[in-house]
Amino acid sequence: MPQKPTLLHSHNDYWCKRPLWDAIDYGCNMIEGDIIYIDKKLVLSHSWRPFSWMCYGELENTYLRPIHQYCIENPQKEIWMYVEYKDSNEKINEILYALFRQYTISNLHYTISAQNEKWYHKKRYKTAMKFYEKYKEELQLTWKTTELAEQYEIKKVDLFPESIWHF
């Protein structure tokens, strides 16, 4: 029976000297990109404030296009693109889905992060959950707790224990 691959996560990967490629070279197969919406584009940023010095390129050019090409050239490799919302703008959802459809291939998996429903995440949490609810057959969801799993009938989920966030 084939063994499920171990996921090695490149957290805030866009901060690396060579986003994506440093992670691939070190054997990572889950790449994280935090996104905000600016001028009809999904931009990589750890902050919802769109200050230019805090942005690290576009999701499509930095990750989706090169990962898709990598997956074509390496069909035996499984890659997970982990997208975390840092913005609550609902325009993210339509753009993100169009990009996911454009860069679909069997060995590339998309995971979105809903974080949790604490007050400081509430708006972007709701935006992410609207996206997940609409496309839940095609996506995985990263969830810190199981608190709302039943409400959203989550079928695919990566559960991160709360303690992992305190290292």
Judge whether 80 lies within some domain. yes
Predicted local distance difference test score (pLDDT) of residue 53: 59
Judge whether 167 lies within some domain. no
Q: Domain range for residue 137?
A: 24-146
Q: What total of structural domains would you count in the chain?
A: 1
Predicted local distance difference test score (pLDDT) of residue 137: 77
DSSP alpha helix (H) spans, 40-120 = 59, 65-73, 91-102
Judge whether 161 lies within some domain. no
User: Can you say how many angstroms the Cα of residue 67 is from the centroid of all Cα atoms in its chain?
Assistant: 13
Going by C-alpha positions, the residue among 43, 45, 41 that lies closest to residue 15 is 45
Judge whether 7 lies within some domain. no
Predicted local distance difference test score (pLDDT) of residue 60: 98
- In 11-161 the beta strands, taken as DSSP E runs, fall at 30-38, 41-45, 55-58, 79-85, 108-113, 140-143, 157-159
Judge whether 166 lies within some domain. no
Predicted local distance difference test score (pLDDT) of residue 12: 85
Q: Which two tokens stand for residue 55?
A: 């942005």
Determine the residue type at 102.
Q
Low-confidence stretches of the chain (pLDDT beneath 50): 119, 145, 156-157, 159-167
Judge whether 43 lies within some domain. yes
User: Can you say how many angstroms the Cα of residue 4 is from the centroid of all Cα atoms in its chain?
Assistant: 20
Judge whether 93 lies within some domain. yes
Predicted local distance difference test score (pLDDT) of residue 48: 67
Judge whether 123 lies within some domain. yes
